[in-house]
Amino acid sequence: MKILLIGFGVVGRAFLRLLDERRGGLYRRFGLRPRIVGVTDSRGSAVSESGLETKQLLAAKYNHGTVAAVAGHGDTTTSIDALIADSDADLVVEATPSTLSAPQVAMSHFKFAFRSGKHAVTVNKAPLAVAMPALFELAAHNRVQFRFSGTVGGGTPILAFARECARGDEIVRIRAILNGTTNFILSRMHASGAAFEAALQEAVELGYAEADPSADIDGVDTATKIVILSNWVLGRPATLDDVKLSGIRGIATERIAEAAGRDSRVKLVGEINETLSVGPCEIRAGDPLDVPANLNAVTVTLRTSGDVTLVGPGAGGAETATAVLRDVLDIWRVMGGQA
């Protein structure tokens, strides 16, 4: 399987390292021999039909800041869209950062991939937030596969789990904690009585929050993941516009304290029932959704089997790379490979 990797940040690099580590097992167990026929970063690209070496790519990135420095294969002039369209790759892995305010660039990558008959795996959820139904349609029209496990729950297989639940039973409701930054802030406020601004500051200093944490604290990140669950797990087309959204910006310490008095915690909960919504909710202490800051959790309420909950770490480059590999194996199976 020939793979074109778009984006060579933390996840992209972790993905190539993972492929190298697991090379023997992937061939023995799944008959899969991945070959990296191209890699791009923000400054250029490296392309080779016979395959690129991870070692060379990492050295070029480390020593020269771009994969374009790979001797004999580097290039700084070709546009990524053109590279995607002209590549003979079977599959494009889109691993550029999720800039929720600017989905267009990654969207364009998918369009060029699908129209040239290439499957795609993405960890970039920005285009999914605004155009998931359209992207599904375009992929189906071009008879290619599209996967995005890493966009929800990092290495924790939330999408696959929820979809499996929906096969034999019927999903009545989904409730989920899907954002580490807000979970950290609210946990700090609960534990120390800190004000929102102080807890946010601490999250930024500890690296839990981005320099601009708006997408997290205003709930847009969680809403995007809820949109992905709705489309993929429930088959209900949705975009961000369909989510009733309220974040936790400036939430009062009194609200946290009142909840604590009722033996509950305030969490930012994404919910799907008749509608899609995101907002601060009280979760009883000991409820499966009462998870510490670094964990994601999703409770799927099934008509017959009741509540089923999955809990696991929600982020991290290496973790997300394992989700990309699951997606690649899923597409490999659809292409006729072993499962």
Is position 318 an interface residue for a second copy (rule: CB under 8 A)?
yes
Residues 9-48 that bind a second copy (CB under 8 A): 18, 22, 29
Q: Quick check: 266 and 199 in contact, CB under 8 A?
A: no
Cα 202 from Cα 133, distance rounded (Å) = 38
Q: Which of 2, 225, 244, 267 is catalytic?
A: 225
At 270, list the tokens.
């994404």
How far CA 293 is from CA of 89, 182, 188, 231, 261, in Å, comes to 39, 8, 9, 27, 20
> Least CB distance from residue 136 to a second copy, whole Å?
15
Which range binds a second copy by CB under 8 A, 132-140, 194-202, 250-258, 321-329? 321-329
Q: Does 207 bind a second copy (CB under 8 A)?
A: no
Residue 225 annotated in active site: yes
* Residue 155 is a binding residue for a second copy (CB under 8 A): yes
**Token code pair at residue 43:** 């400054």
Q: Of 164, 145, 195, nearest to 334 (Cα)?
A: 145
Between 84 and 310, CB nearer to a second copy: 310
132 binds a second copy (CB under 8 A): no
Among 154, 219, 270, 280, binds a second copy (CB under 8 A): 154
Q: Interface with a second copy includes 168 (CB under 8 A)? A: yes
Q: What is the DSSP string of 11-61?
A: HHHHHHHHHHHHHHHHHHHH----EEEEEEETTEEEE-TT---HHHHHHHH
Check residue 176 for interaction with a second copy (CB under 8 A): no
- Binding status of residue 326 toward a second copy by CB under 8 A: yes
Angle at 124 between CA 167 and CA 145, to 5 degrees: 45
Q: Give the footprint of a second copy on residues 217-246 (CB under 8 A).
A: 235
Q: Where in the sequence numbering do the catalytic residues fall? A: 225
**What residues make contact with a second copy under the rule CB under 8 A?**
18, 22, 29, 149, 154-157, 160-161, 164-165, 167-170, 235, 286, 288, 302, 304-313, 316, 318-319, 321-327, 329-330
